Amino acid sequence: MSNEINHGNLTEEQRSKQARKAGLASVVGTTIEWYDFFIYGTMSALVFPKLFFPGSDPYIGLLQSFTALFIGFLARPLGAAFFGNFGDRIGRKATLVTTLLLMGISSTLIGLLPTYENAGIIVTILLVFFRFCQGFGAGGEWGGSVVLSVEWSAKKSRGLMGSMTQIASPIALLLSSGVISLTIFLTGDHFYTWGWRIPFLISIVLVIIGFIIRRGVADSPQFTKMKKENRLAKKPVVEVFKKYPKTIFFVVLASLAQGVPFYVFTTFSISYGTEQLQMDKQFLTNTILLVAIVEIIVILYAAHLSDKFNRQIVFYVGSLLTILVAFPFFWLFDTKVTVLVVLAMCFSIVGAGTVYGPLATLIAECFPAELRYSGTSLGYQISAAVQGVSPLLCVYLLNTFNSTAPISIYLIVACLISIVAVVMLRKSTKNMDMDMAG
């Protein structure tokens, strides 16, 4: 699995080929992992309250379901620490293959679980455990995928290469929503009995494909060079917290401008539309497909602009766009008019996509090569744990205030915090730029 090559003897064409392989592996591998992560999120809104958290009060069932969803987010920083340690000491590629297998196996086992009605509380516990395993694997995936693709890239295309990991998220959303929508259509009334299992079981096929692709990618030139020179960190997780605590803290806050809007505009919006507004779940899942397409385009263009101009400026623009749509999103959504709901969901994701485009490279540029996997993973995944409370918090705010206004305020505050955090990160980004270029 080592697939080591002599980086010093590589021609420009060979380097470009390896960079393309790394980009493809980032897109495919991370798409598969986020597919698994997203189908759980969608099922938490549509199915799990009834099958695994039964109760007379739908509000309590939904809260329990989203709490289980949140467990996956809590596991992500733990996975980031565990896999970040191996990624900086053993290698980016081998670690990424492991995270892929962990995520795929966990999702497949969820699809094989009996329901609460058939087996009782034990299956609810198993569901939460497998969700924890999903989060643990995802915690090590994102940072490693970003680092591998960015370290193989040329400086002039670093932002775009970093976005290969980023577009995996909306591609996975597109794939997961498409599979779920098709499953709902084909299984009809049987969706709540056995149809919901199909998206989870498909995961094993996707994992095999991703495994084959990732085996063909070599570790990055920077990691291989550090390994030969015996410059690898002995305790990367400990060292990155000791040397770069402020950087990690600001990365955590900077990532809020993408994660909070994303989960509000996708996961929560499905629950809000079906439970509160009595909208058709098929229509909402179909609309998510369009949202994902819009986000892919926005991410790639934003990443391209970050290479051409400045990553921070692109980030600020994206955050401000989300602030501008925070209230109009729910105003349009509440009309229940098909065209207006579609417009609301598509426009809402533009800001988050603009932030997400340059975010991966912006974060990776803040850490030196010997600590990059750990630092990138920990900063982003600690933030993910904070972001993961969003669906749960939105349900609470809506039930408490009987209004979506507090949710809009929550979005605005998250974006303002991120803008300040990125301003504070600028110095770190400049300091690490020469290290990345090496």
Q: Give φ, ψ of 436 to 5 degrees.
A: -65, -40
* Cα 404 from Cα 330, distance rounded (Å): 7
Q: How far apart are the first and last CA of the chain?
A: 25
Q: What is the pLDDT of residue 266?
A: 81
Q: Would you write out the chain's pLDDT as a tens digit for each of its 438 residues?
A: 444 555 555 667 767 777 778 888 888 878 887 887 778 777 877 777 777 777 656 666 666 666 776 787 788 899 999 998 888 888 777 888 888 888 888 888 988 988 877 777 788 888 888 888 888 988 888 888 888 888 888 788 888 888 888 898 889 888 887 888 889 888 888 888 889 899 989 888 888 888 888 777 777 777 788 888 888 888 899 999 999 999 999 999 999 999 899 888 887 888 889 888 989 877 887 888 888 899 999 999 999 999 998 899 999 999 999 999 999 999 999 999 999 999 999 999 999 999 999 999 999 989 988 899 899 999 998 998 888 788 778 888 998 999 999 999 999 999 999 999 999 987 655 555 445 544
Residues 6+ apart with CB under 8 A from 9: none
Q: Is 406 exposed, middle or buried (0-12, 13-18, 19+ CB in 10 A)?
A: middle
Give the architecture (CATH level 2) of 10-437: Up-down Bundle (1.20)
Short-list 110, 96, 100, CA closest to 42: 110
**Burial (CB count within 10 angstroms: exposed 0-12, middle 13-18, buried 19+), residue 58:** exposed
Q: What is the dihedral of CA 360, 363, 364, 365, to 10 degrees?
A: 120
Residues whose CB is less than 8 angstroms from the CB of residue 128 and which lie 6 or more positions away in sequence, other chains included: 68, 71
Take residue 201 and report the two structure tokens written for it. 């079981």
8-state DSSP, 196:
T
Residue 190 has a CB neighbour count (10 Å cut-off) of 12
Q: Are 84 and 236 in contact (CB under 8 A)?
A: yes
Phi (first) and psi of residue 52, to 5 degrees: -120, -15
Tokens of 194: 């056995």
Q: Which of 191, 241, 193 is nearest to 80 (CA)?
A: 241
Q: Is the pTM of this model over 0.85?
A: no
Count of CB atoms situated within 10 Å of the CB of 217: 23
Cα diameter, the chain: 67
* In the chain, domain spans: 10-437
Q: Is 123 exposed, middle or buried (0-12, 13-18, 19+ CB in 10 A)?
A: middle
